[in-house]
Copies of this chain bind each other. A is one copy, B any other.
Amino acid sequence: MKESLQDYVLREATPDDIEQVLHLMREMAEFEQLVDQFHADAHALNAHLFGPQPSAHCLVMTHRNAPQALVGYTMWFHNYSSFLAKRGLYLEDIYIVPAHRRKGLGRHVLQYLAAKAIALDCGRFEWVVLDWNQDAIDFYTQLGATVLDEWRTVRLSGDALRQLAHP
């Protein structure tokens, strides 16, 4: 049976989804070869997504025939542009399990978040991509997004961060 976009549901995550979201996050970390940077746990995620001042927001995707099983998730938060003097919408994660790809679900999620960005008066909708993930770059470009080739992310973490903070 051919799946169509109407077979899927996109909804806000609830605390009951967290264990499955963590499972999907770990799958994504494996794909991105970033398992060494994966330290999320349910307690912290619950506090950050569902506490009084959320640090991030999570949506999940299910198939109508198996509404208990997540087929994907996305997480976003507000960044800020000083030059625009506007909040932005920053996509931290989007992940869809392999069996449910190429059915329009990724595009649907990005359209939903683009509409949310407009509704929340965000100046920009941004995320990052690995430069070797050409399938993703092509997909994003087809949606009208621009890859900012000139900019590089700079990061301090772990020992280097502690060393600068308290030499």
Contact = CB atoms under 8 A, between A and B. Distances in A.
Interface string A59-101: 0000000000000000101111111111100101100000000
Interface residues of A, number: 70
Interface of A: 25, 29, 34, 37-41, 44-45, 48, 53, 55-56, 75, 77-87, 90, 92-93, 110-111, 114-115, 117-118, 123-132, 137, 140, 143-157, 160-167
Interface of A is mostly: mixed
A120 B41 CA distance: 19
5 nearest A-B pairs in the assembled complex, by CB-CB distance = A144-B160, A44-B85, A40-B85, A114-B165, A115-B165
A129 B151 CA distance: 6
Nearest to A128: B151
A167 to B, nearest CB: 8
Contacts of A160: 144-146
B129 A155 contact: no
